[in-house]
């Protein structure tokens, strides 16, 4: 009888994914360098009456980086084999109880049929984007969601609605989970729209109307960005116009870009903007260049002084700043902010060097996540070592290189959140988180 690699979560495991990696190593001797996590499945539970226990199963699917990777099984198994997932569905594989249920939660074709490749391509697009911010990725997710709905079979309305919800769950969890709050928010909004449009019955025409409604929702999201920018301008109006407003920021947030361009075009203030380059992809430098280009195109260059500095120069860049502007890839239910690595050192340096600085988070409320936040996203080390090419340290042996994209800034270090509902505090975030949690549970529970 065949079974997937499996095992129990131990107290020493950080989470279920850590358990999966540990068990794979123990049972196959495969390492993280030989495997890539393809996707996670929605957990499910069942009761084993024989032992009087309820089991909670967390399915994961991995892909071998090289098909020739050697597998060495341990004492728990007699042999191993490869199977077409369709053979499991057809009962041609003698497997342990629950094998098919676990597999269908990570193998999209079982439930989604012809829509599976559409979703798979969309998930790959989200995972592979290393430059777009959370807001932009959420827009991509909404577009993918509409394409998936168009490809789903409409023969069974109840099944279609369940598969629409499954697709939404996968976009949230298997696209770019470190930026998943925004994706979850747009998916929930999209599901609300779809449920309303198809409430009178499902047909090809109703699906067309639903996807058109999703396009309208995408256009409406532009209005939320404008609302954040308007609230930011109101905040800047508190500063005197007879001297530059000194600001420090980092990375490349579409929300921050919108706020700064709106301030330039609607206020008389001069801006002194310092931007940390944001290694390893230097998104901060790209933000600075875009803003400079915008100012030049509008004959506003004399009104903004833009300086790019290294991440290590955060303290120098913080001298006499009025505002430290942070975007947010995710805000947890307590108001803690996940943003590009370098955010916390910038905040700590600014608070030490410039005593009057206000730390301002610019974010749509869609970035509030009520559930447990994902772990650190550790990306390709080559992005870091690329800058070492030609140096004596290039290709270091025996040196581990980490490329962690995001880190947390504690809510206690944030002075104000500027959102699409105006200036907000942690009590507002708690309220928004509760609303998102209720809506998410109502559509995803039971899948």
DSSP per position, 124-170: HHHHH--SS-HHHHHHHHHHHHHHHHHHS--S-HHHHHHHHHHHHHH
Counts for the chain of helices (H) and strands (E), in that order: 15, 15
Q: Are 339 and 409 in contact (CB under 8 A)?
A: yes
For residue 3, pLDDT beyond 80: no
Phi, psi of 187 (to 5 degrees): -65, -45
**If we measure between CA atoms, which residue out of 276, 257, 431 comes closest to residue 347?**
276
| Beta pairing class for 245-250 and 53-57 | unpaired
Residue that the structure tokens 């996707």 belong to: 39
Distance separating alpha carbons of residues 344 and 259, to the nearest angstrom: 21
Summarize pLDDT for 396-417 with one digit per residue, the tens. 677 888 999 999 999 999 999 9
pLDDT of residue 122: 97
Summarize pLDDT for 175-194 with one digit per residue, the tens. 988 889 999 999 999 999 99
N residues, the chain:
447
Domains in the chain: boundaries: 16-106, 110-223, 239-438
**If we measure between CA atoms, which residue out of 236, 250, 247, 416 comes closest to residue 319?**
247
User: Who's near 36: CB < 8 A, 6+ residues apart?
Assistant: 62, 63, 65
pLDDT of residue 394: 56
Q: Which string of DSSP letters, residue by residue, matches 325-348?
A: EE--SEEETTS-EEEETTHHHHHH
DSSP 8-state assignment for residue 398:
S
Distance separating alpha carbons of residues 91 and 127, to the nearest angstrom: 33
- The dihedral region occupied by 201, where left means phi > 0, alpha psi between -120 and 50, and beta the remainder, is left
Summarize pLDDT for 71-125 with one digit per residue, the tens. 888 888 888 888 888 888 777 787 777 788 999 999 999 999 999 999 999 999 9
Q: How confident is the model at residue 395 (pLDDT cuts 50, 70, 90)?
A: low
Summarize pLDDT for 148-176 with one digit per residue, the tens. 999 999 999 999 999 999 999 999 999 98
Give the mean pLDDT of the chain. Answer: 92
Which CATH number, 3.40.50.720, 3.90.79.10, 3.20.20.70, 2.60.120.10, labels domain 16-106? 3.90.79.10
Q: How confident is the model at residue 16 (pLDDT cuts 50, 70, 90)?
A: very high
| Among the ranges given (2-16, 136-150, 199-213, 378-392), the one the predictor scored with the smallest mean pLDDT | 378-392
Summarize pLDDT for 239-296 with one digit per residue, the tens. 999 999 999 999 998 899 999 999 999 999 999 999 999 999 999 999 999 999 999 9
For residue 68, pLDDT beyond 80: no
For residue 375, pLDDT beyond 90: no
pTM summary value: 0.86
CATH top class, domain 239-438 = alpha beta
């Amino acid at each position: 009888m065949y079974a997937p690699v499996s095992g129990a979560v131990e107290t020493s495991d950080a989470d279920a994914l850590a358990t999966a990696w540990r068990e794979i190593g123990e049972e196959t001797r495969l390492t993280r360098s030989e495997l890539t996590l393809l996707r996670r499945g929605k957990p499910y539970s069942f009761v084993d009456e024989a032992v009087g226990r309820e089991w909670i199963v967390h399915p994961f699917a991995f892909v071998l980086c090289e098909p020739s990777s050697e597998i060495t099984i341990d004492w728990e198994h007699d042999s191993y084999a490869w199977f077409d997932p369709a053979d499991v569905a057809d009962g041609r594989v003698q497997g342990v109880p629950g094998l098919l249920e676990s597999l269908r939660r990570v193998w999209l074709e079982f439930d989604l049929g012809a829509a599976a490749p559409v979703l798979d391509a969309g998930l790959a697009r989200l995972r592979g984007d290393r430059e777009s911010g959370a807001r932009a990725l959420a827009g991509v997710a909404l577009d993918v969601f509409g394409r998936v709905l168009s490809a789903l079979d409409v023969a069974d309305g109840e099944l279609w609605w369940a598969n629409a919800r499954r697709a939404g769950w996968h976009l949230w969890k298997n696209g770019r989970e470190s930026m998943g709050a925004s994706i979850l928010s747009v998916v929930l909004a999209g599901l609300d729209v779809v449920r309303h449009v198809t409430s009178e019955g499902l047909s090809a025409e109703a699906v067309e109307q639903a996807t058109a409604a999703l396009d309208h929702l995408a256009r409406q999201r532009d209005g939320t960005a404008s609302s954040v920018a308007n609230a930011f301008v109101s905040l800047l109006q508190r500063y005197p116009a007879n001297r530059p407003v000194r600001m420090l920021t980092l990375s490349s947030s579409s929300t921050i870009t919108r706020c700064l361009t709106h301030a330039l075009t609607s206020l008389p203030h001069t801006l002194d903007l310092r931007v940390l380059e944001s290694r390893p992809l230097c998104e901060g430098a790209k933000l600075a260049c875009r803003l400079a280009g915008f100012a030049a195109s509008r004959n506003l260059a004399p009104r903004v002084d833009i300086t790019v500095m290294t991440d290590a120069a955060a303290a120098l860049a913080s001298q006499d700043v009025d505002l430290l502007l942070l975007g947010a890839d995710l805000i947890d239910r307590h108001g803690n902010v996940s943003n590009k690595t370098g955010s916390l050192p910038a905040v700590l340096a600014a608070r030490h060097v410039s005593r009057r600085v206000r730390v301002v988070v610019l974010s749509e409320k869609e970035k509030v996540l009520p559930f447990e936040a994902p772990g650190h996203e550790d990306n390709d080390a080559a992005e870091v070592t690329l800058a070492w090419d030609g140096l004596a340290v290039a290709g270091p042996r025996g040196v581990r290189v980490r490329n962690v994209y995001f880190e947390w800034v504690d809510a206690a270090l944030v002075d104000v959140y500027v959102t699409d509902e105006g200036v907000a505090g942690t009590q507002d975030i708690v309220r928004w988180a509760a609303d998102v949690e209720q809506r998410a549970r109502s559509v995803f529970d039971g899948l």
